[in-house]
Chains A and B, each alone.
Chain A
Amino acid sequence: MIAKILLYVVRVHPAFLVVLSALLLIDLLTLFSVTPYLAVKQGLWEVFGLLMGLGILLVPYPLFLKNALWIYGVVLALLAIVFLAGHASHGARRWIGLGWFQIQPSEFMILGLILFLTWLFVPEKRDVPLRPGRFAAALLASVFPALLIARQPDLGTAFELMIIFSVFVFLKGIPSRIVTISVLGGLAFFPVLWEGVWAHLHEFQKDRIRAFIDPASDPSGLGYHTIQSIVAVGSGGWFGQGLSGATQVRYQFLPGAHTDFVFAVFTEEWGFAGALIFLGLVSYLVWFGFRTAMDCRDPAGFYLSAGVTGFFLFCFLINVLMVLGILPVVGVPMPLMSYGGSAMIVSLGAMALLMNVRFYAKR
């Protein structure tokens, strides 16, 4: 079976394989220039993630969907464990220790939620209309873990869950009049909502939003992230400063250079030309996901691959726009690129789900 799957991937989708490998290699090179030690660790995670992906390919996706409730439940239980007795680091509780390494259940909630929402929206292989009951279930299943994660505090991942929810509901479709009413109602209640949310944000989260509104107000303080990120990108020029010449990374502490701002590091080193190639690679992956959904002859496969694609493209866009100072620093990492073991496994797992739909949906 493994041989059959590998043969399929190599024969039918060589381009996908090349693009994915290129992105993973770029990731390692970029991290290596920031902190060599992290690149070594990330490399191990990549290998681990690819093995996980292969494992996912062995199981037909309908089987995943059949057990989606269980998968979702287990991840939710892990999240609850983290909430109650997690491993704290940098003042945040996100990790569960497993001997020599730690996992971040909040990342796995991404896969759990995608599977769960697909299962919820396509019962018995039929595309049913979105009734209030199902909508409420989807909302609850997304908001509850998102709240748990936001309390960790990890606004970025909570935000990612809400992206998944929005993508699924959008794909499912809500009657136009309800959309209109919600938008108007939302606008009317915005001040109230804003007060409520603002009061519950942590100080560093508030600082980030303040800094977004006016980054230049305090160049060495709050707007520091954004300004340094743009300076890094800008100093890249057409062809970049090279792996060893990126002064922003070497001399200057660009905070989060290995996580949220890894794209800034990459563009400083590879320049505009490198960035275009990179965007091309990412666009190919998005297009691959899009084709997978469009060609799929099974509604469950459609929602699964479309959901993965939507999640991937939005996380990617939000991260890049954040690095370029167009969106606030919300802490959404770049899939496949930002440093993080759990995140890498989830990203590669999502890619494997796409390939899974391609492989099993055609028969």
Chain B
Amino acid sequence: MASEFRFHKNGILGSPRARLNGLIFVFWLGIAVVVVRLYVVQVIKHRHYLALARDNVVKVVPIPPLRGEITDRNGVVLVRNGPDFAVFEIPGEVRHPRRELAWLAFDLGIPASKLRHALSRLGFVLPPHMPVPLETGLSMAQVGRVNMDLYRLPGFYIQVMPKRIYPPDNIGAHLLGYVGSFTASDLKGSFYRHLPPGTGIGKSGIEKEYDALLQGAPGLRRKLVDSHGRMVRNLRNDPPKEGRSLRLTIDMRLQMTAERFLGDRRGAVVALDPRNGEILALASHPSYNSEELSQAMSSARWNTLVHATDHPMTDRAVQGLYPPGSVFKIVTTLAGLTEHKLDPEAPFHCAGTFRVGSVIFHDWKRGGHGTLHLHKAIEQSCDIYFYHLGMTLGPEPIARVARLFGLGSRTGIDLPAELSGVVPDREWKRKYLHTSWYPGETPPLAIGQGFLTVTPLEMARLMGAVAMKGQLSHPHLLLGEKEKGGSSGAADLTPIPIPKKDFDIVRGDLRDVVAAPHGTGHPVDLPFFAIAGKTGTAQVVSNRGKNKGIKRPKADSWFVGFGPFDDPRIVVAVLIENGGDGGDVAGPVAREIFRMFYITRLAEKGNPAPAVAS
């Protein structure tokens, strides 16, 4: 061992080399201890430990927690739990997987490939002692047949599982969402790792948004089993922690009214309380059956739902993007008032046409409205008046005011996958379409068409801010609680920097849209309930799918309004796709919601009794 350098001598044992020798000595000593210990445990006490391992094995089985219930604001149960029979397999205990799976499939009367598919979804990533759910929603006949065969199917068992029960007739389907068993890809999220297989996790709607609260925590059953897997006795149970029940801001009576009067038409309804942003009703049609989706479903059925031309999986209230049509004239008006470019009293002559360059725009009313001022222009929804106002303003002030009302960005409602519309201006067009703004694009913007899109929820929120004279609410669905993160108070209102007097002008005009006999919103009028609002009839050019560029047969129909006029407590936004005239088609749906609101929330407080709903 030729050493060409000298170590500094110090410390115990003299030199680093000697100390390294010491370390190695410690290692040999450790190895000796390990070998002796191994000999004692593995050879001398082998029988003892083998007996422990063979005869009495502690098996840990997770117990799924009961998911929390969901109620409406009055405590009416919307989603509860019911019993469901499911057959499980513990892959590690099955002796002849193929044969026994075929056997089980025969008993269940379903193809074995379906069971194999269920197994392959989870069996590969889970340790072999963890049970995998093979088939849920068994009928009593199936349970009986399988039960008789279980004695020769080791590793399989039937268990009662909680099942979600949703309101009848798909009421609130989009809003509530559905649950499904988690898949291998869900396991990547750390949160689900501790859940027993077969536990439902929220896949959309409230079920998904508040999954962490609803889920609860699984318990553990530790049981002593013999070598055949039969239970000897229970050791200790950690009971599962039940998920929290949620109380929503939804009023079931309004929700049902909304869905009933929406009927079979494609559309959405939003009702909210403008004072605090509580959503009272949130409907979208066509919808889906939450219970059907919560169970294992065939991929063919799933594809039908996802690819259906009427998009039943889309929650139109928060994901549907529509041009707001004339409802947007509120924004154009406010932009004109704040920019001091609009005199409400100045007369204007509407001849039915408006010319920008070589393009001629028409009013919805052939022949025009004659001479009018702002009040009548809003009341009768004169397009020419607003074309002119729009050209005076240009796109920027309109877009700026629209953004003050939260258009063009998500409202932040506590639902997953909310979309936001688009508020176009010069900069937006340059950025996304790489072209400049043409003057001919300003008039459509002024009456809520062209590139402009909104969701029904955004419109309801906008109308709420008008009702509250410039207090923008933050829509939410969980009653009386701060939002998930606890950062932003849900009930807080954001003030909009527009003078109150401007709102007073617009609000007065909106009242007459409904109250005046010639107002476009007159179909909404109720004698006992002061409603204000605005209709919209938005011509749509489809911009997706094979219908790109082709005009839809009928315009989208809007009504967005609030009431009571002096003390606003509810905003209703109704959208009906291809409905036609806003006042006649969307209006009556809104009217019935206002009527129901009055009957249930206002009538008992000394207000006169209303006529019974037709």
A interface list, Cβ under 8 A from B: 34-37, 88-90, 125-130, 167, 170-176, 179, 220-221, 228, 230-238, 247-248, 250-253, 267, 271-272, 275-276, 279, 283, 286-287, 290, 293-295, 297-299, 302-303, 306, 309-310, 313, 317, 320-321, 324, 326
Contacts and interface: CB of A to CB of B under 8 A. Distances in A.
Contact of B57 (A35, A252, A294): A252
B1 A235 contact: no
A317 B30 contact: yes
Contacts of A35: 125-128
A232 B19 CA distance: 36
B111 interface: no
A170 B38 contact: no
Interface stretch (B70-78, B221-229, B290-298): B221-229
Contact of A233 (B49, B93, B235): B49
Interface string B46-74: 10111011100111100000000000000
A36 B124 CA distance: 8
A253 B3 CA distance: 53
A148 B11 CA distance: 31
A272 B16 contact: no
A235 B127 contact: no
Given A37-B124, A290-B24, A234 B5 contact: no
A220 B11 contact: no
A237 B42 contact: yes
Contacts of B127: 34-35, 253
Nearest to B56: A231
B41 interface: yes
A175 B58 contact: no
A77 B540 CA distance: 55
Nearest to B236: A220
B303 interface: no
Interface in B30-49: 30-31, 33-35, 37-39, 41-43, 45-46, 48-49
Contacts, number: 179
A303 B38 CA distance: 33
Interface string B6-35: 111011110111011001101100110111
Nearest to A252: B57
B222 A275 contact: no
B2 interface: yes
B253 interface: no
B23 A309 contact: yes
B23 A228 contact: no
A130 B23 CA distance: 19
B1 A294 contact: yes
7 closest cross-chain pairs (CB), A and B = A234-B49, A173-B11, A235-B53, A89-B190, A317-B30, A272-B42, A237-B46
Most chain B CB within a 10 A radius of its CB, from A248, A253, A290: A253
A229 B15 CA distance: 40
Interface residues on B, range: 35 or more
B20 A290 contact: yes
Contacts of B48: 234
A283 to B, nearest CB: 6
7 contacts: A167-B23, A233-B41, A234-B41, A235-B52, A248-B53, A250-B128, A310-B20
A325 to B, nearest CB: 8
Contact of B50 (A228, A234, A298, A303): A234
B92 interface: yes
Nearest to A286: B27
Q: Which of B4, B15, B39, B49 has the most CB of A within 10 A?
A: B49
A317 to B, nearest CB: 4
A228 B56 CA distance: 12
B42 A233 contact: yes
Given A279-B31, A313-B26, 11 more contacts: A89-B190, A90-B190, A171-B23, A172-B16, A176-B11, A234-B41, A235-B46, A250-B128, A251-B129, A276-B38, A297-B2
A299 B7 CA distance: 8
Nearest to A172: B16
Interface in B200-248: 222, 225, 227, 229, 235-236
Contacts of B349: none
B500 interface: no
A220 B235 contact: yes
Contact of A326 (B4, B20, B33, B124): B33
